[in-house]
Amino acid sequence: MPVLVRDYTWEQVRSRLFITVPLRGVGARNVHLFCTESYLKVNFPPFLFEVLLYASIDVEKSSAKVGNGVVILTLYKKEPRMWEQLVTVEVNKEKLQKMRESVILAAQEKAQQTAEEKAIKKRENEKYSLEKMMKIEEENRKQIEEWKKQEQIKATEELEKWKLQKHKEEELKIEAEKRKRKKDEKKVQNSPSHASGNASKKLTENVKEKIIPAPRSAGNIQVQFTPRVFPTALRESLIAEEEEWLRKQAEARRVNDAHAPDFKDLKEEERNPDWLKDKGNKLFASGDYLAAINAYNLGIRLNNKLPILYLNRAATHLKLRNLHKALEDCSKALDLLTPAVPDNADSRLKAHVRRGAAFCELELYVEGLQDYEAALKIDPCNRAIQADAEKIRQVIQGVPADP
């Protein structure tokens, strides 16, 4: 049975009241608060402080601070006035129990209502993001069609110009050959009779030189392709790891929860994680980070085995300064990017850099430096990462960084 706290103190002004409850040696982590408009409870086993308030308070504005062996509650009154006392009229235990149950039940109903409202708002946000993605897709499609149409017109005009130019060149060539033939015939007619044979022979040779040989006959060439070879030398081969990575990628591509009841209202393309990834990337590029987050969230719900979705969502969380969520997504991506092979080196480098950036934003520079050093092991020649790592070392050592 809990021990009721009686040695609390309270003060008030017209708009607020302040309650100080001693913790009696109990740690701040063991303090649990529950507050409604008319009921207040501070539970720190084995002690309990609870009161039915004299009048209603504004729970949203009210606050509590725990530390230095006390709990200080700042409660805002709904009606600014001086209270005659802190608690309502004294009641017996049975009535107090009923009032406590009714207050807790009302709080639970309110919490349930709030959760439902949040769920409705979340669905509306997802619907909004999908509608916006579809609108962007439609605009891109129209732009592509217009571009194709313009390119087709341009190509047609160029083809007509080329045909006209060729036709003119052919006409000029035919005219030149006619003039030359007439000139040769005229020379033959005006030459002496003993030279007529040589002239005819020369003319025949010129005609033979102009004869174009027939095209070569068609044939087939047999080509044999060499089997796939991994990029590393045989003595450094990661064939087993490469095969494992390819197997995991194939399994990840087969994972799709698009036929679950929650997704029955989505269109066919909206059930494709790759399509959602591309939409999220477009929204990220346009600066609509909340819509991009919703697209990546839906993609992960459809397939939670694709590391690229976690990587892209981590970058978006960094933009929104959701640093702890960025850390979680980078760590999840690194778990999926195993085994470490050259094929996924670029993704692992991005995961380490983004997690290191999130650590540094949280002023956890040692952890951030570890991630940047892991990225340098993947790409030792990356000057940008080298410069960032050096700046972090200077911060850790207390050396002022170069401007």
Helix/strand/coil (H, E, C) string of the chain?
Answer: CCEECCCCEEEECCCEEEEEEECCCCCHHHCEEEECCCEEEEEECCEEEEEEECCCEEEEEEEEEEECCEEEEEEEECCCCCCCCCECCCCCHHHHHHHHHHHHHHHHHHHHHHHHHHHHHHHHHHHHHHHHHHHHHHHHHHHHHHHHHHHHHHHHHHHHHHHHHHHHHHHHHHHHHHHHHHHHHHHHHHCCHHHHHHHHHHHHHHHHHCCCCCCCCCCCCCCCCCCCCCCCCHHHCCHHHHHHHHHHHHHHHHCCCCCCHHHCCCCCHHHCHHHHHHHHHHHHHCCCHHHHHHHHHHHHHHCCCCHHHHHHHHHHHHHHCCHHHHHHHHHHHHHHCCCCCHHHHHHHHHHHHHHHHHHHHCCCHHHHHHHHHHHHHHCCCCHHHHHHHHHHHHHHHCCCCCC
Please report whether residue 12 resides in a domain. yes
pTM comes to: 0.43
CA angle 167, 169, 175 (to 5 degrees): 105
Split into its structural domains, the chain has a count of 2
Is the distance from CB of 345 to CB of 378 less than 8 angstroms? yes
Q: Give dist(CA 341, CA 358) in Å, integer.
A: 25
Does residue 386 carry a pLDDT above 80?
Answer: yes
Does residue 162 carry a pLDDT above 80?
Answer: yes
Please report whether residue 57 resides in a domain. yes
Burial of 362 (0-12, 13-18, 19+ CB in 10 A): middle
Write the single-letter amino acid at 277. Answer: K
Which band of pLDDT confidence, cut at 50, 70 and 90, is reported for residue 241? confident
Domain stops at, among 70, 90, 110: 90
Average pLDDT of the residues in 382-395: 92
Is the distance from CB of 19 to CB of 66 less than 8 angstroms? no
Model pLDDT, residue 198: 58
Q: Give dist(CA 52, CA 54) in Å, integer.
A: 7
Please report whether residue 300 resides in a domain. no
Q: Give dist(CA 220, CA 277) in Å, integer.
A: 43
Is the distance from CB of 50 to CB of 88 less than 8 angstroms? no
**Cα torsion angle, 188, 190, 192, 193, sign:** positive
Average pLDDT of the residues in 32-38: 84
Domain stops at, among 44, 74, 90: 90
Write the single-letter amino acid at 25. Answer: G
Q: Give dist(CA 117, CA 115) in Å, integer.
A: 5
- Domain CATH for 383: 1.25.40.10
Model pLDDT, residue 263: 61
Please report whether residue 232 resides in a domain. no
Range of the domain at 9: 3-90
Please report whether residue 236 resides in a domain. no
Give the pLDDT confidence of 172-230 residue by residue, as tens digits. Answer: 989 888 888 888 777 766 665 545 555 555 555 554 555 566 676 676 777 776 665 55
- Most confident listed range (41-50, 206-215, 317-326): 317-326
The total number of residues written for the chain in this structure? 403
Model pLDDT, residue 349: 95
Q: Which residue has the higher pLDDT, 4 or 356?
A: 356
* Selection from 29, 3, 7 nearest residue 20 by Cα: 7
Model pLDDT, residue 369: 93
- Nearby residues of 327 by Cβ (< 8 Å), 6 or more positions away: 355, 358, 359
- Nearby residues of 146 by Cβ (< 8 Å), 6 or more positions away: none
Please report whether residue 176 resides in a domain. no
Domain stops at, among 74, 90, 106: 90
Does residue 236 carry a pLDDT above 60?
Answer: no
Average pLDDT of the residues in 264-292: 86
- Domain CATH for 10: 2.60.40.790
Q: Torsion over CA of 155, 160, 163 and 167, rounded to 10 degrees?
A: -160
Please report whether residue 196 resides in a domain. no
Please report whether residue 332 resides in a domain. yes
